A and B are shown apart, each in its own frame.
Chain A
Amino acid sequence: MAKRIDVSGLTAYYGSHKAIEDISMTVEPRSVTAFIGPSGCGKSTFLRTLNRMHEVTSGGRVEGKVLLDDEDLYGTGIDPVSVRREVGMVFQRPNPFPTMSIFDNVAAGLRLNGNYKKSELADIVERSLKGANLWNEVKDRLNKPGSGLSGGQQQRLCIARAIAVEPNVLLMDEPCSALDPISTLAIEDLIGELKERFTIVIVTHNMQQAARVSDRTAFFNLAAVGQPGKLIEIDDTERIFSNPSVQATEDYISGRFG
């Protein structure tokens, strides 16, 4: 299931503005990699280049290579739609489809990708909701709209929706920033379980969160406002938070800026 991501020389633009420049890194399978850095350093932009969502925004374009195992996501003949099916994504704000029931929300991706029998579909939905630690809370109201859930439940519903299609990689863009501490804890626990099966990349503003959930941490920074964001260093989380090799990283995690 889980695949390795190899990024080399990746630069992303919004129109003529260069958002991130020359980023290379490797994301190991079955691990959690956290992206940290000050606002505007391009960590979310970089995340969105990993499933070709960046090019959806107007003027968005990308140079460089992103290898998923051995295949370049930006190679010729690659279908971005298939890429997004392989690389799932969870967004900053929970975004279940407001007009769909809980069940339909989880089944949405499956219904796109093939013909499942009703019982199969029900099995996968149950498995995914259990995988997202949401099953017990919603099993009696699968036909109610997903927008009726609390924020934390909605976010777990979105995770269930993302993992239902069994992606190889799961990208999370500040998944807890709109949630209260208890819901955040629930999601963090969930991330710990999900890394057994998926390659997880998470963007977070919260350094404690990065320290708690991730195996490796990448620090992004930008020279000045308007300058492109760059990868400063990536290392084991423990090392980044105890003994980083770059001064800027230490300044950032010790709260001296950002």
Chain B
Amino acid sequence: MSTATVTPKGPSTLRGARLPKWSPYAIAGGSIAVAIGIGLAGGLHSRVQWGLIAAILYVVGTYAIASAVEGKRQAKDRIATSFVWVAFLLAVVPLASLIWSTVVRGVKVLDVYFLTHSMGVVADTEPGGGIYHAILGTLEQVGLATVIAAPIGVLTAIYLVEYGRGNLSRAITFFVDVMTGIPSIVAGLFILSLMLMFDMEPFGFAGSLALAILMMPVVVRSTEEMLKLVPNELREASLALGVPKWRTILKVVLPTSIGGITTGIMLSIARITGETAPVLLLVWGNAFINANPFEGAQASLPLYIYQQYANSAGSGAAYDRAWAASLTLIAFVMLLNLVARGIARWKAPKTGR
């Protein structure tokens, strides 16, 4: 009956020959073995070479075997799969190495003493000292930047979502996008040009201003996203009760989205906390404790890392301090990230109410 139709294909068209599941591992193992063999026989010193030969063997081997057994299309599919896996593993290596070296080298000098003392009487090449002054400077600079940038950013986002139409809001939207891409050093140079105008010496607040410029567009973007998530029905329900628009925004829209907005602000704080370049230009760095951000050079954590690395002529003690400060900085940034995500998750289901 139907089997006796005109179809030219035999009954086995569906039974495309498949390589067994373990074949990629087998080919990988074989390639590595052969590469080691070639490496030893040819007396190649560089391990990179061995790895590269193994990789080439693996790709060629997979393609040859798969196209012989399964056909060209499956062979291509297999190569794409292995490339994608390799790319992923490739990206994991530097991250793992970065976290590993920061933690392992950072814990060496990281203790309570380190967190509670400055570099006041310690030469950069000598062991001892700490990062208290840098933590203080960072907290003050970032805090002031947040005080400036967060309200402006949130208000701008409110304007864009709740009021904005026409050319002004389009211009703001465009330039907020553009501002997100400003290199941090350019923001620093801008404040520097102002300081040159008024003949000012470096001080903490100047750094805050540059950080605020970097922070504002990020806050605007994230807040905008959150406000857009507030369902229009909520606004309409409030307005229909005769509540003025500004009270609707304050009492209905903002409370609904406050979790997301907080998350966005915290993530942007995390971002500017790690900024070094503008602080380098504007705050200058200081080995002593300076608690006044409005007068005199201050230290900051990222700047401290850079200066310990760059100004110490390769002293091991300074590198240890740089790693310890890096670990502190990463821990702080990661903590902000985690808390921000926690808030987002905790506040998220409340939107429906």
Decide yes or no whether A202 CB sits under 8 A from chain B: no
Please state if A86 and B2 are interface contacts (CB–CB under 8 Å): no
Residues of B within 8 A of A79 (CB): 14-16, 18
Please state if A70 and B18 are interface contacts (CB–CB under 8 Å): no
Selecting from A1-9, A144-152, A211-219, A230-238, the interface stretch reads: A1-9
Residues of B within 8 A of A29 (CB): 1-2, 5
Task: Convert A79-105 into 0s and 1s, putting 1 for each residue whose CB lies closer than 8 angstroms to a CB of B.
Answer: 101110010000000000000000000
Please report whether the interface of chain A is mostly helix, strand, loop or mixed according to DSSP: loop
Residues of A within 8 A of B43 (CB): none
Residues of A within 8 A of B15 (CB): 71, 75, 77-79, 82
Assembly CA distance A135 to B13 (angstroms): 31
Please state if B1 and A83 are interface contacts (CB–CB under 8 Å): no
Assembly CA distance A69 to B1 (angstroms): 10
Decide yes or no whether B6 CB sits under 8 A from chain A: yes
Decide yes or no whether B3 CB sits under 8 A from chain A: yes
Chain A 54-80 residues near chain B, CB threshold 8 A: 68-71, 73, 75, 77-79
CB contact under 8 A between A86 and B3, given known A77-B18, A112-B73? no
Decide yes or no whether A133 CB sits under 8 A from chain B: no
Decide yes or no whether A128 CB sits under 8 A from chain B: no
Please state if B2 and A81 are interface contacts (CB–CB under 8 Å): no
Please state if B14 and A3 are interface contacts (CB–CB under 8 Å): no
Assembly CA distance A70 to B11 (angstroms): 8
The residue that A82 contacts in the complex, of B2, B5, B7, B14, with Cβ under 8 A, is: B14
User: How far apart are A131's CB and chain B's nearest CB, in angstroms?
Assistant: 16
Interchain residue pairs with CB less than 8 A apart (23): A1-B5, A1-B6, A2-B5, A3-B5, A4-B1, A4-B2, A30-B2, A68-B14, A69-B3, A70-B11, A71-B11, A71-B14, A75-B15, A77-B17, A77-B18, A79-B14, A79-B15, A79-B18, A81-B74, A82-B13, A82-B14, A83-B14, A112-B73
Q: Add 16 more A-B contacts to A1-B5, A68-B14, A83-B14 (CB < 8 A).
A: A1-B6, A3-B3, A4-B1, A29-B5, A71-B11, A71-B15, A73-B14, A75-B15, A77-B15, A77-B18, A78-B14, A79-B14, A79-B15, A79-B16, A82-B13, A82-B16
On A, residues with C-beta under 8 Å from B are 1-4, 29-30, 68-71, 73, 75, 77-79, 81-83, 86, 112, 168
